[in-house]
Structure 1
Amino acid sequence: MEGITYLTQKEAQSLDEELMGPLGFSVDQLMELAGLSVASAAATEYPTSTHPRVLVVAGPGNNGGDGLVAARHLHHFGYQVTICYPKPTSKPLYDGLVTQCRSLGIPFMSAEELAAAPLSSKYDVVLDAMFGFSFQGAPRPPFDAIIEMLKPGAHPPPVVAVDIPSGWNVEAGDESGGGLRPDMLVSLTAPKLCAKQFAGSHHYLGGRFVPPQIKEKYKLNLPPYLGVSQCVRIGGSGRSPAAGPANVADMRLSYGSGGQSLDESDMAEAGPMQEFDAWFKLAASSGIQEPNAMSLATATVDGRPSVRYVLLKGYDERGFVWYTNYDSTKGKHLEENSVAGLAFWWEPLQRQVRVEGVVEKVPDEESDAYFYSRPRGHQIGALVSMQSTPLHRGRAELEERAARLERQYADESVPVPRPPHWGGFILRPLSVEFWQGRPSRLHDRLRYVRSSVDSNEWRLERLAP
């Protein structure tokens, strides 16, 4: 992510002092937020389905405290967590963190026990929470030996470094050239200068607590956090080779742990659009990003399928509305074969809705009304893109056309005309299926069906999962 701010060691220490001084934060508050950020970031890239066994190596300072908090959250996320805490700090804060972890049944292991077998034989991920940005000098025993176990030559499982890869200089990075090479770095508050040397797969930022006066004083340029997320990806090369190929066959979740179910008697009185309205409003209020994203499946007249995501822009008793370029691939498919399907997937709710029906264009006045409700830049964008056609001169061709049209419509008192090739489609449903995840793959599937798009009589039926 370009333009992001990196902190020196002095700036990081000064920033922390201000947070815990005039700005009213306590060290345990910051530690809790930092540890939650680390756990959330690690779980994003290394899910329990592929990396269930996590080792947390905690040092004696605040970085180790962040690791202990992360261990607790990872346990609650469903991971099998083990902690190595060789030099525990005898202070009430740290004693409490240890007690919390032990009360959950999280096992603790000594450095000697850790060295008894290769880490990759027992763990799928290692959380490096040994040393933070206040550390100076060379690591002392037993941490020096643990760091050796985490270096590439020891073939460890993926290593997630908390704020600073242990053994690195906060500003100069890996001065020896033979230090840790973590697969993932979770910077806290803001990245430190050494993070510029990070060449691993995943770089995240955590610590969603920076107040405006801190941003202004330190001239922090930080990315926004999306929705309710505690972390945000800011860099990295992509997938980690150290993680090995993903075992896709073992990726599975157990649905319906809350006991939620669909019952015919609850849905019999409502029609499909009323039921969809209730489901959609729940999804929209649950913090899901773009709950109106839906996959649209179309096919040519001879049955060659195509699928893509579009955004739902309206629904009523007629059906489901979206807007697009009529000359696009989907537009041409629908011109020759008006039968299509939609699917919504709302993972946090373990719900999906599948719709099949017949598509037609919405009236021109509806397309006009929606077109002129869009930001002016989006209106010009509809003129710019000849959707789905090849750009023989690359992106420059698109940008030149955009610049030309922006100059043409620079006078905002002159309306941008809606292109004749741009407008809305409505899918009038023949079937609407409501799917709810349930334990042991015995999912609930209730489907409304009718004989034609002009019929008001819907039949509700249960489908086998």
Structure 2
Amino acid sequence: MFLASRLLGHSARLCLRSPVRSVPYAVPTLRHKQHSERRGMASSATTMDSISYLSQTESIAVDEELMGPLGFSVDQLMELAGLSVATSLASEYPSERFKRVLVIAGPGNNGGDGLVAARHLHHFGYQVQIVYPKPTDKPLYKGLVTQAHALKLPMLSWVDVQAAGPLAQQYDVVLDAIFGFSFKGDPRPPFDEILKALSPSNAPPPIVSVDAPSGWGIEEGPRKMGDIEPLAPDMLVSLTAPKQCAQYFKGRYHYLGGRFVPPAIRDKYKLTLPPFPGTAQHVRLPPFHADKPAEAQSAPPGEDTVQVLGSKASEMRINYTRGGLLESDMAQWQDDPMRAWAEWFRVATELKVCEEPNAISLASADAQGRPSVRVVLLKGFDTRGFVFYSNYNSRKGKELLGNGYAAFSVYWEQLQRQVRVEGTVEKLSEEESSEYFHSRPHGSQLGAWVSQQSEVMHNGREELEARQKELEAKYPEGTPVPKPPHWGGFLVRPTAIEFWQGRPSRLHDRIRFIRPNTNSTWTMERQQP
């Protein structure tokens, strides 16, 4: 079963043993600060153009100083680097959804970092396999191999991996620890074939590159080597300091690992690096969106900016490889798809796939059938349907109450899942609306009075802020605030719920539950993608 075993692991199997209770579900509050700390994100004041980048020569010189006058040993640095790579990978690719990891280790120090990371990933709960085509006789590396054998980590040949089929069918993540910053020239066998298999045209699983994407020029970034396309990793874990090629990285996640840079190195090379939060071994760096290095980023946009950026949209593609969705996966919920929704929502929430997994795109239409859509926050659901709150006099409030129908969708990108809901809509009871209103923070309660939602402000934002001050004086902190009569909850009673799972080649899975009205029984069907 793809759904249970590949995508959700033990979480889905746990749900099969413990049915979802048909009780009201209050959507948990998600705090941005907690999410940032979990991933060890750099301060918002940190920007990529303020961070230092090392050339190939500088990178080699820094390593020599660390292992010379500063007293670090190779194995010590390798252990710290490999640990930071493993923790960085685990921050974005949790083992519950990305269980199967292939570590490809090259013959040098970069490969050693990968072997260390493989050991730590095993202890973190991943199923790790290793390809190490060119092992050396150096005691350090032989020791790393011995440690892998002691953990019974499979050491495969590249021929074995190729014979087993496409990488995306075998693995959830590939750790690219093939070549580091000292690599020059073109790759030799079997690394040339490995890099071909990892090229974008072969749709590999997410790639995590160690320090520099293998085959890239350390200064010039991605480069084609004969008939080998440049790697396009989803994640880059820079070590010590980002290398100049990192300015060309366009993947989703960029981390800095290797928490060992002493002040002497920082001062000598004038390194500007973000602080590591707490006890974290890594820090997530802000994105660097440019085709050129940082110095070119400040150029003013030309008149063709819209056209240029618009044309890039057609180049944006991802591989949908997180799993599949079969009728047998959903059959247990055929009589009550709200339980299927509850399970999907639980997974999205517990795996923290985004800051607000309860953010839904809500659609409504006016009397002429002209649609409008906006993002609102789902605040609960139960056997009746879905609950959110808003101003009844707003555009959406008038449209929803005017025709009595609503639709919404939610997309959880990291799960490559979407849910679409259609149904009737009605006001929530005054008692339920009042109970939720008085559970809100004091400022939010005042905000419901302050904003005449969707109305035009003729005097700018000052008009809004003046009304806020007036109400703050009328209802100081600790004073009960009455619920406005124009504010309250909406209940969407579903007549259609569609569960969508991304699949390769855009042949996605769509399982839809429908019923003629809210008092009818449900029917399950599969729709064309």
Q: TM-score band (shorter)?
A: 0.5 to 0.7
How much does 1:7 deviate?
Answer: 12
> 1: distance between equivalents of 2:460 and 2:108?
51
Correspondence for 1:449: 515
> 2: distance between equivalents of 1:329 and 1:359?
15
CA contact (8 A) 1:345 1:353 kept: yes
> 2: distance between equivalents of 1:2 and 1:428?
41
Higher relative contact order (CA 8 A, sep 6+): 2
> 2: distance between equivalents of 1:457 and 1:341?
19
Of 429, 439, 442, the match for 2:494? 429
5 Å-filtered alignment, 1:341-356, equals: 341-346=407-412, 351-356=417-422
How much does 1:232 deviate?
Answer: 6.3
How much does 1:320 deviate?
Answer: 1.4
Correspondence for 1:376: 442
Of 114, 135, 138, the match for 2:186? 114
> 2: distance between equivalents of 1:81 and 1:240?
32
What SS is found at the alignment partner of 1:182?
Answer: helix
Calculate the TM-score normalised by the size of structure 2.
0.54
Cα deviation 1:362-399 (Å, max 9, x = unaligned)? 12222111000112232223334444456677666655
CA contact (8 A) 2:360 2:375 kept: yes
CA contact (8 A) 2:85 2:257 kept: no
Matched, 1:151 2:202: no
Correspondence for 2:523: 460
Of 60, 84, 100, the match for 1:34? 84
Of 230, 253, 261, the match for 2:320? 253
> 1: distance between equivalents of 2:282 and 2:458?
39
Cα deviation 1:184-233 (Å, max 9, x = unaligned)? 552237697689758xxxx9x98x8x54xxxxxxxxxx8xxxxxxx9764
> 1: distance between equivalents of 2:485 and 2:397?
13
Calculate the TM-score normalised by the size of structure 1.
0.60
> 2: distance between equivalents of 1:330 and 1:95?
62
How much does 1:248 deviate?
Answer: 4.4
> 2: distance between equivalents of 1:255 and 1:68?
25
Q: Note closer, same or farther for the CA distance 1:161–1:464 as it changes in structure 2 (3 Å cut).
A: closer
How much does 1:402 deviate?
Answer: 4.3
Correspondence for 1:186: 255
How much does 1:93 deviate?
Answer: 5.0
Cα deviation 1:240-272 (Å, max 9, x = unaligned)? 568x947647533135359783454x344x334
5 Å-filtered alignment, 1:17-32, equals: 30-32=80-82
How much does 1:416 deviate?
Answer: 1.9
CA contact (8 A) 1:57 1:129 kept: no
> 1: distance between equivalents of 2:321 and 2:376?
29
CA contact (8 A) 1:379 1:416 kept: yes
Q: Note closer, same or farther for the CA distance 1:186–1:276 as it changes in structure 2 (3 Å cut).
A: closer
Matched, 1:359 2:434: no
5 Å-filtered alignment, 1:272-351, equals: 272-289=337-354, 290-346=356-412, 351=417
Correspondence for 1:129: 211
What SS is found at the alignment partner of 1:152?
Answer: coil
> Which AA in structure 1 matches 2:156?
S
Matched, 1:164 2:240: yes
> 1: distance between equivalents of 2:405 and 2:427?
13
CA contact (8 A) 1:448 1:460 kept: yes
CA contact (8 A) 1:272 1:448 kept: no
What SS is found at the alignment partner of 2:328?
Answer: coil
How much does 1:345 deviate?
Answer: 3.7
> 2: distance between equivalents of 1:445 and 1:420?
40
CA contact (8 A) 1:446 1:462 kept: yes
What SS is found at the alignment partner of 1:457?
Answer: coil
Q: Note closer, same or farther for the CA distance 1:427–1:96 as it changes in structure 2 (3 Å cut).
A: same
CA contact (8 A) 1:35 1:68 kept: no
CA contact (8 A) 1:165 1:180 kept: no
Q: Note closer, same or farther for the CA distance 1:333–1:7 as it changes in structure 2 (3 Å cut).
A: closer
> 2: distance between equivalents of 1:278 and 1:163?
39
> 1: distance between equivalents of 2:270 and 2:485?
51
> Which AA in structure 1 matches 2:521?
W
CA contact (8 A) 1:298 1:341 kept: yes
> Which AA in structure 1 matches 2:527?
A
Correspondence for 1:271: 336
> 1: distance between equivalents of 2:404 and 2:139?
69
| Count of aligned pairs | 380
What SS is found at the alignment partner of 2:433?
Answer: helix
For the aligned residues, what is the CA RMSD?
A: 5.5
> 2: distance between equivalents of 1:390 and 1:91?
69
What SS is found at the alignment partner of 1:340?
Answer: strand
How much does 1:152 deviate?
Answer: 3.2
Of 103, 113, 118, the match for 2:156? 103
How much does 1:462 deviate?
Answer: 1.3
Cα deviation 1:43-102 (Å, max 9, x = unaligned)? 89xxxxxxxxx9988864xx77445556897xx999x99999999783555455898796
Q: Note closer, same or farther for the CA distance 1:84–1:303 as it changes in structure 2 (3 Å cut).
A: farther
Cα deviation 1:424-459 (Å, max 9, x = unaligned)? 1111222233445677736251413123x4xx2224
> Which AA in structure 2 matches 1:114?
D
> Which AA in structure 2 matches 1:188?
G
How much does 1:349 deviate?
Answer: 5.7
> 1: distance between equivalents of 2:481 and 2:147?
61
> 1: distance between equivalents of 2:317 and 2:420?
26
Q: Note closer, same or farther for the CA distance 1:430–1:251 as it changes in structure 2 (3 Å cut).
A: same
